[in-house]
Chain A
């Protein structure tokens, strides 16, 4: 018998990171539509949607509202670490589960959350390996004054130190600030081998525009020299950034044109970005856990992930992180061109596992 199951959707439709959250929302709704049209599944999802509109203080009450006013136990949502941490108490109070489909900085393994996009061993570590081997070991670190930038750069510093790297400079901007002159001047002056850019939103857009200008003025920064690296830039921001995104190198689980997409996506690849793909995969994985499994919608996350089918799908019962492929790609003429891919690796949020020697699983893309 087909079961109709309420499913929470909690993404902002306005605000500074609207481009990212809209991509996630699109992916989640695509999957809902797909599940509901699939006769091989015995579940139908009924989306219960709330829009925090980019307001950090709206997430917890709206998450609680979903869990209180509907029978939803699972919510797909949140785009920032800050909002994810905000909703945890609501999840605990109301016995809910969050599927978080956005890259983040790791060091968390809540028993209320499934982490379905990449954590540092799936984005930053392979990206640094690549940068050290291709460009050199002298880095410049920049980011927004926010946990993402702080933690990612702290990791980069630590990993760099372990590999004989040298950090020439490290500077932060307040969230939303576009005063990037000082950072760009410093980069022009220090001439690092690469820049690790953990800026977000308008700060990143202003930064990339200024770097593009620098490349025209200073021959040291001509094409191919001192690339700007990112761990969260996807196709969904490219139209807004325009030509100054050219040459940026980004790491993620998937970029448009790579086959296949994420493990949870099945055959499907019609996504605008990995954000959309990961949200789609989250809903599909949930459908896979609940279908032909009557009553599973009432199980705790721990019980649900203890079932063998969770491991088959690639969700770790121990860390609640998902196995994901690794791709490193460069923006060329408005699209990402893959430079490097790796087979799916298990998420290691606390970086306590030895990283497999990259040579075993990687493939240089010609």
Chain B
């Protein structure tokens, strides 16, 4: 699949940097300002207000879970990892914590713009994917309901295939998901007394 990059609106966006005062921060800040963002530097604690930022830069060399007011893997904003030490332990921490893009230290003359674009696109994809997985999980959990609904419909003398098709027709007529239609039938204990259930 070909992805088309949607350029995020970076003018006036806010970047939060969690890193001790350092040349890395200076170089990062220079690039961010040149691009047009506003920058807040934090150390050693990330205030709750950082949630309102549009991008977060974290220092993988020194970061630990308790610095962040959210669970590993659940960063609420696009997160960019600043990687210095490539010791496996640090990379393992990063993999668990999760980041949407990374920049190797020392931060020099460039690299921030592409990291911002990639982080935003990856974050958006991550949020979409999480939503989709949630919905699939919910539907999977309703498999039993579907089986029960088909059984209820089949009790009225239909074959299983016919009952299944009838359920699909109901979902379409009610404009709800297949699983939701099944759940309505199971909850009412019998097929709803409507025409679409009778002329099948």
Return the CB mask of A281-316 against B: 1 if under 8 Å, else 0.
000000000000000000000100000000000000
Residue of B nearest to A109 (CB): B34
Complex contact B11–A352 (CB within 8 A) = yes
Q: Which residues of A contact B33 (CB under 8 A)?
A: 318
Say whether, besides A158-B7, A352-B10, A352-B11, A318 and B109 are in contact (CB < 8 Å): no
> Which chain A residues numbered 102 to 126 have a C-beta less than 8 Å away from chain B?
107-112
Q: Which residues of B contact A107 (CB under 8 A)?
A: 113
- Of all chain A residues, which has the CB nearest B10? A352
B35 within 8 A of A: yes
List of B residues within 8 angstroms of A320 by Cβ: 34
Are A353 and B34 also in contact (CB < 8 A) when A92-B109, A107-B113, A112-B109 are? no
Q: Residue B131 at the A interface, CB < 8 A?
A: no
A350 near B110 with CB under 8 A, answer: no
Interface size classification for chain B:
10 to 19
Contact B10 A110 (CB under 8 A): no
Contacting residues, chain A, for B30 (C-beta < 8 A): 111, 302
Query: Within 8 Å of chain A (Cβ to Cβ): is B24?
Result: no
Q: Which of B7, B12, B33, B36 has the most CB of A within 10 A?
A: B36
* Per-residue contact bits, chain A 68-101, to B (CB 8 Å; 1 contact, 0 not): 0000000000000000000010001000000000
Contact of A354 with B11 in the complex, beta carbons under 8 Å: yes
Q: How far is the CB of A108 from chain B (nearest CB, A)?
A: 7
Residues of chain B in range 32-89 having any CB-CB distance to chain A below 8 Å:
33-37
B31 at the interface (CB under 8 A from A): yes
A34 sits at the interface (CB 8 A): no
Name A350's contact: one of B27, B36, B108, B109 (CB within 8 Å). Answer: B36
- Work out how many contacts link A and B, with CB atoms closer than 8 A: 39
Known: A112-B109, A350-B113. A318 touches B11 (CB 8 A): no
A319 at the interface (CB under 8 A from B): yes
Q: Secondary structure at chain A's binding surface: helix, strand, loop or mixed?
A: loop
Q: CB within 8 Å of B: which of A296-355?
A: 302, 318-320, 348-350, 352-354
Given A110-B110, A112-B109, A350-B31 contact (CB < 8 Å): no
Q: Which of A88, A92, A109 contacts B31 (CB 8 A)?
A: A109
Give every chain A residue within 8 A of B27 (Cβ-Cβ). 111
Considering the chains assembled together, what is the distance between the CA atoms of A319 and B34 in angstroms?
5
Whole-angstrom distance between the alpha carbons of A332 and B113 in the complex? 41
Chain B residues within 8 Å of A, Cβ to Cβ: 7, 9-12, 27, 30-31, 33-37, 108-110, 113
23 example contacts (A-B, Cβ-Cβ < 8 A) are as follows A88-B109, A92-B108, A92-B109, A107-B113, A109-B34, A110-B109, A110-B110, A111-B109, A112-B109, A158-B7, A318-B33, A319-B34, A320-B34, A348-B36, A350-B11, A350-B35, A352-B9, A352-B10, A352-B11, A352-B12, A352-B36, A352-B37, A353-B11
Closest 10 CB pairs of A and B: A352-B36, A352-B11, A109-B34, A350-B35, A352-B10, A110-B109, A319-B34, A353-B11, A318-B33, A318-B34
